[in-house]
Amino acid sequence: MPTVPIELPHHRYEVAIEAGLLSRLGQQVREVAPHGCAALLRDAGLPAAHAAAAHEALEREGYAVTDGVFATSERLKSLDTVRSMYELLLGDRLERRSPVVALGGGILTDTAGFAAATYLRGVPLVMVPTTLLAMVDASVGGKVGVNVPEGKNLIGAFYQPMRVVIDPQVLTTLPTRELRCGLAECIKHAMIRDAARFEWLENNVEAVLALEPAALTELVRWNVQIKAQVVMADEKEAGERAHLNFGHTFAHAIEAVQGQGDGGEAGGDAPADSYHHGEAVALGMVAATRLAVSEGLVDRSVLDRLVPLLKRAGLPTYLSHPPAVDALMAAMALDKKVADSRIRLVLPTAVGAVEVFGEMRAQVIEQAWRELGGGVGESM
């Protein structure tokens, strides 16, 4: 079975990836956390067949299963949900060695992961991500946590799982828009680290969108590898881990500005017609790459490969409304009137390579936002 080992200075674990693996979840958990009881904390949005497969697999392996179902949204990624997880675990007297199995998308794995990190000061955690984003991003790296009204992911911990169990077959039920959003992070991984994988995407993006099993498994495997490689080099994000932010400084500004349509409460859900995170990341990567081209940091051919790939993945490459440049600049804490207003950005230097540039001027960023609004001879 393809596994990706994660070797950290103080902890080693494996990410197991195989089609159909959900039906063998019990063995996977027993290998790392043998015990009489287990808690299955699962995403209410997950199709019943996946939940039943996981539950039965744990019972078959002899676990008495405490089953908790949790509705997921950014608003419910909260300390209240963590509290209801604690109550479930306390009610069934789960012990120090009872594993918590987190089954669902990134919202569920972040929230249940935080509950596992703090219940009895930490119990064995097995992550079972079921969205592409959770597989290639949220469940690798050890970050768990929740939102508070003051902002997203402000409360959390670094807490490594005992194992990550990935069954790419569960992606066949994922809404296409969620699949596309996960693909944005995959394109990001290729852009920051691996030109050969970028070419793989150019050759396989349609196979992935058609949910071809071999393509999905291969996609997940190399993406976990890249994320793991970056995280292993830099577990607590001082340096290299910043490369994962490629496209994200622009994306976060888009998300912040559109989030204001929601009453402005940080940690809330964005309005229904707004860009999802992966879509904002796609736009952010285009903005960052355009900027790098116009500053002479990268060859134009990189943009000419990135934009078509994003389009084929069904991701936006232009803002659909004229950009609210002032609001976007404010969201980036930039003031174009202040001469020394500058920002650190991760920018491409080639396909498969990025660098951190510490001193990008506000005027240059503003130009990138204007170009993202279109009118440069292309449309979305």
Ligand X SMILES: NC(=O)c1ccc[n+]([C@@H]2O[C@H](COP(=O)([O-])OP(=O)(O)OC[C@H]3O[C@@H](n4cnc5c(N)ncnc54)[C@H](O)[C@@H]3O)[C@@H](O)[C@H]2O)c1
Residues designated catalytic: 121, 143, 185, 227, 237, 241, 245, 248, 252, 277
Kindly tell me which of 107 and 162 has the beta carbon lying closer to ligand X: 107
Displacement of CA 29 from its chain's centroid (Å): 23
Q: Which helix (H) or strand (E) holds 348?
A: strand 342-350
Query: C-beta of 262: minimal distance to ligand X in Å?
Result: 15
Kindly tell me which of 35 and 276 has the beta carbon lying closer to ligand X: 276
Task: Tell me which long-range contacts 3-6 makes (C-beta under 8 A, separation of at least 24).
Answer: 4/221, 4/224, 4/225, 4/228, 6/140, 6/160, 6/228, 6/231, 6/232
Kindly tell me which of 16 and 324 has the beta carbon lying closer to ligand X: 16
Binding of ligand X by 107 (CB under 6 A): yes
Return the HEC string of 236-284: CCCCHHHHHHCCHHHHHHHHHHHHHHHCCCCCCCCCCCCCCHHHHHHHH
Kindly tell me which of 96 and 177 has the beta carbon lying closer to ligand X: 177
- Tally Cβ neighbours within 10 Å of residue 290: 21
Handedness of CA 268, 135, 156, 116 (dihedral sign): positive
* Cβ density class 181-206: b for 16+ within 10 Å, e for less: bbbbbbbbbbbbbbeebbebbeebbe
Binding of ligand X by 110 (CB under 6 A): yes
Which residues, 6 or more positions from 48, have their beta carbon under 8 angstroms from its beta carbon?
A: none
Span 330-359, contacts to ligand X by CB under 6 A = none
Kindly tell me which of 118 and 341 has the beta carbon lying closer to ligand X: 118
Which SS3 state, helix, strand or coil, does residue 217 take?
helix
Query: C-beta of 49: minimal distance to ligand X in Å?
Result: 10
Choices 5-13, 103-111, 161-169, 317-325; region in contact with ligand X by CB under 6 A? 103-111
Report how far apart, in Å, the C-alpha atoms of 221 and of each of 45, 164, 246 are. Answer: 25, 12, 21
Percent of residues in the chain assigned helix, strand, coil, to nearest 5: 50, 20, 30
Rounded Cα distance, 43 and 77, in Å: 11
Kindly tell me which of 126 and 362 has the beta carbon lying closer to ligand X: 126
Query: C-beta of 210: minimal distance to ligand X in Å?
Result: 16
Binding of ligand X by 173 (CB under 6 A): yes
Kindly tell me which of 35 and 77 has the beta carbon lying closer to ligand X: 77
Binding of ligand X by 274 (CB under 6 A): no
Binding of ligand X by 258 (CB under 6 A): no
Pairing status of strand 151-158 against strand 143-148: antiparallel
Query: C-beta of 156: minimal distance to ligand X in Å?
Result: 8
What mask, x for binding ligand X by CB under 6 A, covers residues 121 to 150?
---------xx-xx--xx--x-x-------
Binding of ligand X by 174 (CB under 6 A): yes
In the set 26, 68, 99, 106, which binds ligand X (CB under 6 A)?
A: 106
Query: C-beta of 47: minimal distance to ligand X in Å?
Result: 5
Binding of ligand X by 46 (CB under 6 A): yes
Rounded Cα distance, 34 and 125, in Å: 12
How many residues bind ligand X, per CB under 6 A? Answer: 27
Q: Which helix (H) or strand (E) holds 307?
A: helix 300-312
Choices 7-15, 27-35, 46-54, 295-303; region in contact with ligand X by CB under 6 A? 46-54
Choices 54-62, 101-109, 190-198, 280-288; region in contact with ligand X by CB under 6 A? 101-109
CB 148 within 8 A of CB 267: yes
The token pair at 322 is 């004229």
Binding of ligand X by 22 (CB under 6 A): no
Given the rule CB under 6 A, which residues bind ligand X? Answer: 43, 45-47, 50, 72, 74, 77, 104-108, 110, 130-131, 133-134, 137-138, 141, 143, 153, 170, 173-174, 178
